[in-house]
Amino acid sequence: MMIETQAETRQIVRAYFDTWTRGDVPAAGQYLADDLAFTGTLRTLNGVAEYLAALNDFRKLISAGIDLISELYGDDEATLIYSAHTVAGAMRIAEHIRLTDGKISSIIVILDPTALRAFKAAAGQ
């Protein structure tokens, strides 16, 4: 198991974040491990394909961009806090990321889903 330095972790995590936030979700997959484990407030996903499909769905909700508020890096982990401006309103999101062998192997997302749930309910979803 390779331990990333903080600089390597930052490079990988920011490349992933910058890629998906600019709308190129498929390209973000190159930074993810095939067996990625995702745990979120609303659901748990296993594997890169399942995660990218969900991330693509979320990306479609972005209406006015994403503002990175804070980023913290360790040797093989990172925490990003950002505000996503969605069709449901602004959502503050905390994302904890772990790397294994140069790939993102785990993502934990914490957010308040109240606005998103209300939006989906109003849309009949």
- pTM of this structure: 0.91
β-bridge pairing 103-111 and 32-39: parallel
Paired with 82 in beta bridges are 68, 93
Smallest CA-to-CA distance from 23 within 75, 59, 68, 67 is with 59
CA distance 112 to 90: 10
Per-residue confidence (pLDDT) for residue 3, from 0 to 100: 65
| Token output for 124 | 């009949």
- In the chain, beta strands by DSSP E: 32-39, 44-46, 62-73, 77-86, 89-100, 103-111
Average pLDDT of span 98-113: 95
Which domains are delineated in the chain? 6-122 (3.10.450.50)
